[in-house]
Every structure is written in structure tokens, then in C-alpha cells.
Chain A
Amino acid sequence: MPAVSKGDGMRGLAVFISDIRNCKSKEAEIKRINKELANIRSKFKGDKALDGYSKKKYVCKLLFIFLLGHDIDFGHMEAVNLLSSNRYTEKQIGYLFISVLVNSNSELIRLINNAIKNDLASRNPTFMGLALHCIANVGSREMAEAFAGEIPKILVAGDTMDSVKQSAALCLLRLYRTSPDLVPMGDWTSRVVHLLNDQHLGVVTAATSLITTLAQKNPEEFKTSVSLAVSRLSRIVTSASTDLQDYTYYFVPAPWLSVKLLRLLQCYPPPEDPAVRGRLTECLETILNKAQEPPKSKKVQHSNAKNAVLFEAISLIIHHDSEPNLLVRACNQLGQFLQHRETNLRYLALESMCTLASSEFSHEAVKTHIETVINALKTERDVSVRQRAVDLLYAMCDRSNAQQIVAEMLNYLETADYSIREEIVLKVAILAEKYAVDYTWYVDTILNLIRIAGDYVSEEVWYRVIQIVINRDDVQGYAAKTVFEALQAPACHENLVKVGGYILGEFGNLIAGDPRSSPLIQFNLLHSKFHLCSVPTRALLLSTYIKFVNLFPEIKTTIQDVLRSDSQLKNADVELQQRAVEYLRLSTIASTDILATVLEEMPPFPERESSILAKLKKKKGPGTVTDLEEIKKERSSDMNGSAEPASVNASAVSTPSPSADLLGLGAAPLANSAPPPSSSGSLLVDVFSDSASAVAPLAPGSDDNFASPDLASSEVVSEEPADTVHDADELFHKFVCKNNGVLFENQLLQIGLKSEFRQNLGRMFIFYGNKTSTQFLNFTPTVICSDDLQSSLNLQTKPVDPTVDGGAQVQQVVNIECVSDFMEAPILNIQFRYGGTFQNLSVKLPITLNKFFQPTEMSSQDFFQRWKQLSNPKQEVQNIFKAKHPMDAEITKAKIIGFGSALLEEVDPNPANFVGAGIIHTKTTQIGCLLRLEPNLQAQMYRLTLRTSKEAVSQRLCELLSEQF
């Protein structure tokens, strides 16, 4: 092998480089370089024609100068001249100069193209290789125009040398990327696919890159590549470690090619052909098995190469997301890596596990590693590994572990690197909101965030906590108390002053009864922070003060004194001055009534997408320092796209409360949005005008009515509706006493309901929310009634649009008429295509007999008179059952009212008992119903008695109501 100055060693070059190395300072280096540039320039301009050797020497010097970061504005022409040299060494250096120094919009391209054309026609494989490399690396549009027709021919011609084929494949890839319009698909496409079968692994390596890019844009045309890639992969994976000779790297057969093939397969859904699918599964299993075998070499290169393939195989398994067995094995493998001594492996394992967490098959398996991940957060010495751990905790978070994860993230935040604090703050805020069952926990969490990392709590975060407190009256008193306490700290963050000021201004009255937080104390506390705050915060506090004037007339004069002080009225800041003047005036001239109106409590905020989530997404976006970004715009949007499924999945599991939904998916129309326009007569308008009662079931405190979204979700997705409808019964029962809420939810889909009934008519709005970022196709919901049911229940549904965009929601209306009493519930069947897979699921639609109840008020005397009239054994149905929920009288009352009957107070001689009365309206008849519920607190039992004129009705109502307590 050659020594330092090799082959045709260029002495001048060596001297120059040595000189540069000996330069003691940057200035000296620049001086030496300028001297050399002047020298070369004069040589190029000189009269004496330079020989090839000299040209080559100078071009090499220019390359070196360029590498040092100096722009080269001459020598291009000389390089182009070298291209037409017949000496390989000269030609080579010419191409090198051009591919390093010439960019795609150079004026020289035409001259270069000429040289390339000659070399391509030369049939000399070395020259052809050089020319193709040049196209692959420069790849301008002009080059595409000149060669896009020819390259495919070279690529698939039978007599092309292997090395030329390799270059041609990458060359075509370049042209396709820069000018796809100039690379028309044609006969060559099918022959390109067959390059996957080529004997030569170098050709396969190059072709796989080309095919992957082409397949991403034209999946149909390159579909056949799937089976070819699988069989090639299978041959590699099962080969003995010496079979592939030079393509074996430290006993791993063709690792880079395997990775590329696995990438290619990620352009497609799982193969449909069972044979191909089986073979692929076998391959993936073999790869997973190999990870457990003792290593064939102790060298780290061996395990690295093996793991490169393994990680790619796991990516494919996650991409397919269809083989629970493989997914769980992948998860176990990654779990092992989480504790590996190599940092690289721990990092990559955390990263892959993040995507694994969003698969419904492996979500649970991922969750078992929570302790290890939390430990990583505490002990990893590398910030990027810790960041991955945070991402994974975020991805694996659900209702069951939210409290733990949020607590750990808060813990970590205290010591976290500054670079990732803001992101952690956003994540904590999102998780706390999304999984808040108890909103006091949410308020505590956000206040903790402000305490620990106040500087990183952006406006979006503290705006959101205020929105939520305003929209949920169950947490307002707690919030006021908590901020009041937090403000006691001698030094608190300005963000806390903002939140505290706003909340006390609205709800300070809720804690004013306590002498420790009397109006004056609240005011003094806030005002003690005033002078330390920035102008916007002070402006906010002034608004709080005027709100106090309304809330607490007793401290009006104190506040007026403050507003009147010079530091306010004559404040240099015009905004503060104006507020002080206006508020002072308002407090002086306005009557109590006007003040109360002007300064009324803020109305609930309209539902909107959480800006926190938008911000988190934005943070993941590209930075902006180099021009690389401009070129990569397209790519970075791809990247965001690919990141999205995880975040959408994670966030779309919305809780049913109106304010908790981060994406505005589903909950908004379920809750307090304006009613949809209705044109069908006064009946529905009536119901809508009574919107307070329609919203009531969603009111705080009724959260326990909502099943956790995970409930029965995985079981419900199935091909056989009959089996699975049963599993959803529990969710179904939640709707007996209420009309709105989330009926069903899994990883893909959320179904929400809003319905109203009056006499024997009803209308139900079904909202289908696509939780993924991918379109649902052929989306067909069907409401199915059994034959029996059809005669007693008339349902009319309007068809919905068959495509549901990612993140979008569609609405379906069902008009309902009850003809006669009925037992069963209709079934809602939903079919659609998601990605490549067909989804079919069925849920019971909660249209139950009690929905057609009209309450009837009656006196004790009337009640017992009718009770006796219905004493025929066939009219009475009784059930004695154990309490499933805590026996709370208020909740029981709410449920009986929700059930539809009137709740009759002071009717039963025993005040612990509940009695109710109502009439079931059907088109054909009206059926009077009486009910009596006798709780036995000691035994934790209930006795429920139903008396109606019709046995079947008594029976059904008793069944439905028994499930509620």
C-alpha cells in the first residue's frame, strides 16, 4: 500500500499543506492562502499552457483551501477542461472539483453536461462511473433534462457493469428528487424492482435506496417490491455468516442492506399474501431470536451491526402494528436494552419504545417499564437520553399512571437542563389537564409548575389554567384557596402573581369568609407584590382591584386610595395610568348594580384547541440557522408529519369534561356548544331552549358517570359484533341516566353522543372523531335494529361522508320515534379502513325505554292510592341487589331524576326511601310507572320495586335502573 505522499505525489501540494500546518496564527494562515491563490491565479492566466499534471496539482490546492473555509471564485473553467482529458487521474480530479465546488445553478453546467455525455458514451466503465457520480452529486435540473431519459436505460440494460448500475441507480434517485416531472415512469420501473433480485449485493444496496424513494411517491407501481424485498431479506437473514463473503461485516450478513430492505418494507402495510406475510414474520422472528443468541464475536462492531438491523426490524414491527406477539417481543427486547451498559442502546431503546407506546397492542407492555424509565430520568448522565426518557413517559402516560408520571416529571424539572425545561413544562401541563380526574390535582400541578420553573411557564400554560378554573365551578373555591396560600411565599414567580390576581379577582369571595383570607388580607397580599411586577402584570392586578371593589364593597375605599395615589394616576406607563383613572372613576360614579353588571364574573370560555399542544408541536419544528433548512423544508414537514401520530394519539384521548379536551375533538359539541340548527318544528326547539338541563349531566361531579376511555376498548374492535357488544354494556349503562357523553373510545376513534327526548320522540347526535392523523376511508356507520325492535322503534339516520380526515369529526343525526315499549337496544355498527386495515366495531346505542319518560308530580295520597291499584303480581317487579357505588343520597336522587321519572319528596313515610313517578310515552299507548327504592345502608343493599300497568315495562325499567346504583 502507498505511503504518505502517494502515487504521482505532488510535491508542491505537500509543501503548501505543510506551510499551512506550520502557521502559528489565523492571520498567518490567511496570508499564506492568499499568496497561494494569487500564485494559482497567475498560473491559470499565464501565457504558458499548463500541463495536466500542473492543473491537477492546483485543483487539489484549491480543494484544500476550500475545505479550510475560503470561497474559491476561479479555477472552475480549468476543472471543466480536465473533464475532457483522457487521463483517468486528471479526469478524476476534474470531476472531484466540480462535484465539491460547483453547485447546481452554475453557468458551467452546459459544459459539464457535454463532458458527461461523452463519458457516458465512452463505454469505459471507469469514466461512466465518474460521470454518473457527478450527476448524482450535482444533479441540477439541466442535468435532469439532459440525462433523465438515458439513465434508466443504463440502469436496466443487461450488459451494464455492476458498479455502473450502482452509480446509475443513485443518479436516477437524485434526478427524481430534483425533477420528478422529468423522470417518467415506464417499462423500466418493473425492471428496476427486479434489481432487488440481482446477484450482486452492491447493486441491490443501491437499488433499494432508489426503489424506497420511488415507492413512497408511487406505492401502487412498486407494490411488487414487497415480496421481492421479503425474499431477499429472508435469504440474508438466514444465511450463514460466511455466505455473503465481503458483505458480511463482523459476522453480520449485509447489515446495511438489511436495514435498507426493512426501510423499504415500511413504505407498505403488512403484505396481504399470507405466504409473503408468513415469510416476513419468520424473518422478523429470526432477527429477534438472534438478539438473544450469544454473540459470534466480542467486538463491539458485531453487536452494533446486529443491533442496527434489530432496531430497524422493530421499526417495521411497529409500523405494521398488526402482530401482537411481535410487538410484545419487540417491547421486551427494548426493555432489555433500557438497562444495557451502552448509552447508545439505551438512547435508541427509549426512542423506539416511544413509538411502541402508541400501539394498542403494546401500550400495556410498554407501561411495565415505567420504573426503569423513571430511573433513567434520574440517573442518566446524557441530556439527550434523559430527554428521550421524558418523551417516553409522556407517550406511555394514561389515566392509570398519570399522577405518578406527572409527579416524576415535576421532580425532574427541578434539576432538568435548561434546554429542555420549557418542553417538560408543556408536557406536564398537557398531561395534567388531559388526565385530571380531580381538578384540584390539576390546579396543584400547574401551581407547582410555576413554582419550580416559573420562567419556563409560557402564557399558553397559565391562560389555560385560568380558562379551566373559570369553566369548572367545582374547582374555583379550591383554586382561590390554593393561590392565596401560594402567594404567601415571600418570593413568588410573577406568573403566580398573574394567576393569583386573576383567580382572586374572580373567586376571592369564595374564601373571604375565612378571617385568615378576608378581603383586606387578600388585597394587601396582592398589593405587596404589585411593585415588583412588570407592567402587564400590574395592569392585570389593577383589573383585579376593580373586581374586588365589586366583590368586597367593604374595602372599596382602601382600593380607591391605592388607585388615587400618584404612582397610579400619574404613572409613566400610559396603560397603567389609563386603567387607574378609569377604574377609579368607575368605582366612584357607578351604582352597585352597574358595578355588578360591568364586573360580573367572567363567562365560561368557549371551547378551543389547547394552545399548549400547538406550542409543543411548534417546538418540535426545525431550527433556523443554516441554509440546510431551506432545502429541507419539505423534509421537515415530513418529519413533523411522522411525529404527529404519536402526539395526536396521546392527546386525543380526551376526557369527557368540556374543558379538558385539548384538540377540541368530540367534547365540544357534547358539552356546552351552541345547539345545532334545527328546522323540525317546535318540539326540538323546546328541548334546546332548556339547554341548562341538557348540559347538567356533564356538570362537574358527574365525572364518575364516565367510564374510563380504555374500558373495553380493545375488545370492542373485532370482526364479530355479537360477541363484543356485550362487553360494552358497562358503558351503555352509563347512558341510562344521562344523554350526553363519550360512548366509545379506542386508539383510533372516539364516539360522542348528545341526545334529547320529548314524549315519544327523540333525536340523537352522534359525533365520530378521528383521533389519528390518517384519513378513515369508506367510513360507514349503520344503526341496526333487530326484527323485534323494528316494530317498536322507528329510527331514521342520515348518511355521513365516507371519508373522515385525520383529527376531524363528523356528525350523524338519528331521529327516533318510540312506537311501543321495547326491551333491546339498537346496535351501532361502524366500518372503515384505517391505513391498510379494515376496522369493524359495534356498540349498543343507548336508546332505552326510560328515555320516553315524562315525570309526574303527585301527592303522597295519590301515590299510595295508585300504588295499591297496581298491586296485581304481574304489574310489580322487584329486585334486591348489592350497591355497586357508594350509597350517597344526593347522587341517588340525581340518578332517579336522570332516569326520567319525577322524584317525589315527602311521600314515603321513611325519609331514607326514594319514590318516583312518571309516564312512558309511546306512539300507541302511555304507561304510568311508579317506583320505590329502599336503601339498606348496613347491608349495602337496595330493594327496588317497579309497578306499571304492563309487566314487560316494569321488568325492563327495573333492569335498567338496577344497574345504576
Chain B
Amino acid sequence: MIKFFLMVNKQGQTRLSRYYEHVEIKKRTMLEAEVIKNCLSRSKDQCSFIEYKDFKLVYRQYAALFVVVGIDHTENEMAVYELIHNFVEVLDKYFSRVSELDIMFNLDRVHIILDEMVLNGCIVETNRNRILAPLLVLDKVAES
């Protein structure tokens, strides 16, 4: 199961956080700070999986932005690692060359995309077109 899904920049500012189990806000900030500290301290030749407390972190870095996913032992690390990339590619497709700013200014849409892909900690959809479908409906409604 996926425990949480985070996007944090190199300065340690959280740009997206989605928890699939309730965590108090104070603990969230602590956790996010620790997680990003962990990721930043690693070099390129280290592996993308970190054992952290009793779960694992799978992370990928895109420019100054880290995507970090917390998973339990039932999840396949490599599959989650590619899930991150799939997510980023969907964002890229929607925002045409996504940047950190897109994510900040369109937090609601990023949430919609993530919710289409991961629900209740499980991967629910991986097909890019179908992930974007509800959002395109939304945009159409908004335009009219």
C-alpha cells in the first residue's frame, strides 16, 4: 500500500502532499522535513529506495523537485518508481512541460490527476488518456 505521495523542492518546501492514512499536521511537517533531508543527502549512485522507519521511501528527482512516495512492504519498489514517472509524464502532458510553478498554481488539478491514479493507497489507473479524462471535462465546463 502507498502511505503518502509527496512533491518537495530542494529548499524543502512541500509542493504537493497526499496522505492515504491520517497523519496530524504537525507530524506531517516533521515527516516531510525528514524525508527531504534523507533524499537530499543522497548522491546519484545511491539507490532510489530508502528504508525509513518501518516503511520504504521511493524517490525520483526532476530538476529541483523531488517526488517521494512512502510505501509498505506489500508494494513493488520498481513499480512505484515507474508510477512516479508515469505521474510526471501525465502532468507534463497536461501542462505541456510541467514546472514547479504549474504545480503550485494548479494544486487542485494536480490533486485531481493524482486521485485518478492512486486511490486509497492503491494504483487505480495507469492509462494516461483516462487519467486526464475527468480533468478535460472540468476544463470544458469551466470554459463555457
Chain A residues with a Cβ under 8 A of chain B: 1-2, 4-8, 13-14, 17, 21, 60, 63-64, 66-71, 87-89, 92-93, 96, 99-100, 103-104, 126, 129, 133, 136-137, 139, 163, 166-167, 169-171, 173-174, 201-202, 205-206, 209, 246-247, 249, 254-257, 259-260, 263, 301, 304-305, 307-308, 311-312, 343-344, 346-348, 381-382, 384-385, 387, 621-623, 625-629, 631-632, 635-636, 638-639, 642
Contacts and interface: CB of A to CB of B under 8 A. Distances in A.
B99 to A, nearest CB: 8
Contacts of B73: 638-639, 642
A89 B138 contact: yes
A623 B55 CA distance: 10
B76 A136 contact: no
B139 A67 contact: no
A785 to B, nearest CB: 49
B129 A343 contact: no
B25 interface: yes
Contact of B78 (A93, A346, A348, A631): A348
Contacts of B85: 301, 304
A551 to B, nearest CB: 50
Interface in B107-144: 107-109, 111-112, 115, 119-120, 122-130, 133-134, 137-139, 141-143
Given A137-B119, A628-B3, A60 B126 contact: no
Interface in B55-92: 55, 72-74, 76-79, 81-83, 85-86
A311 B53 CA distance: 23
A100 B115 CA distance: 11
Grouping DSSP codes into helix (H, G, I), strand (E, B) and loop, the A interface class, with mixed when no group exceeds half, is helix
A343 B22 CA distance: 33
A89 B135 CA distance: 10
B46 A381 contact: yes
Contact of B120 (A14, A174, A347): A174
Interface of B: 1, 3, 13-18, 20-32, 34, 42-43, 45-51, 53-55, 72-74, 76-79, 81-83, 85-86, 93-96, 101-102, 104-109, 111-112, 115, 119-120, 122-130, 133-134, 137-139, 141-143
A246 B127 contact: yes
A257 B15 CA distance: 29
Contacts of B142: 7-8, 89
Contact of A259 (B17, B49, B79, B119): B79
A255 B79 contact: yes
B46 A343 contact: yes
A631 B82 CA distance: 27
Given A205-B125, A628-B3, 19 more contacts: A6-B139, A69-B14, A69-B25, A88-B141, A126-B134, A163-B133, A170-B120, A173-B120, A205-B123, A206-B119, A259-B76, A259-B79, A308-B81, A343-B46, A348-B49, A625-B30, A626-B31, A628-B31, A635-B1
A283 to B, nearest CB: 17
Contact of B76 (A174, A249, A311): A311
A93 B123 contact: no
Contact of B27 (A305, A626, A639): A626
Contacts of B125: 166, 202, 205-206
Contacts of A627: 22-24, 27
A308 B96 CA distance: 28
A773 B15 CA distance: 44
B54 A639 contact: yes
Contacts of B79: 255-256, 259, 305, 308, 312
A642 to B, nearest CB: 7
B98 to A, nearest CB: 10
14 contacts: A67-B107, A92-B138, A126-B137, A136-B119, A201-B127, A202-B124, A209-B122, A305-B82, A343-B45, A625-B53, A628-B27, A628-B53, A631-B21, A632-B21
Most buried by A among B21, B26, B115: B115
A301 B84 CA distance: 11
A92 B107 contact: no
B27 A173 contact: no
The 8 lowest CB-CB distance pairs between A and B, nearest first, are: A308-B78, A622-B54, A623-B53, A7-B142, A382-B46, A69-B29, A308-B79, A209-B122
A66 B29 CA distance: 10
Given A126-B137, A163-B130, A17 B25 contact: no
B47 A343 contact: yes
A71 B123 CA distance: 29
B20 A4 contact: no
A384 B138 contact: no
A60 B108 CA distance: 7
A68 B46 CA distance: 29
A103 B54 contact: no
B40 to A, nearest CB: 15
Contacts of A202: 124-127, 130
A343 B123 CA distance: 25
A8 B106 CA distance: 11
Contacts of B48: 343-344
Most buried by B among A260, A344, A642: A344
A93 B109 CA distance: 10
A34 to B, nearest CB: 16
Contacts of B105: 4-6, 13-14, 17
Contact of A167 (B47, B102, B119): B119
A173 B55 CA distance: 21
Contacts of A632: 21, 54-55, 72
A683 B142 CA distance: 97
A19 to B, nearest CB: 12
Contact of A1 (B72, B94, B124): B94
A617 to B, nearest CB: 13
Nearest to A306: B78
Given A69-B29, A627-B24, A639-B73, A64 B138 contact: no
A348 B111 contact: no
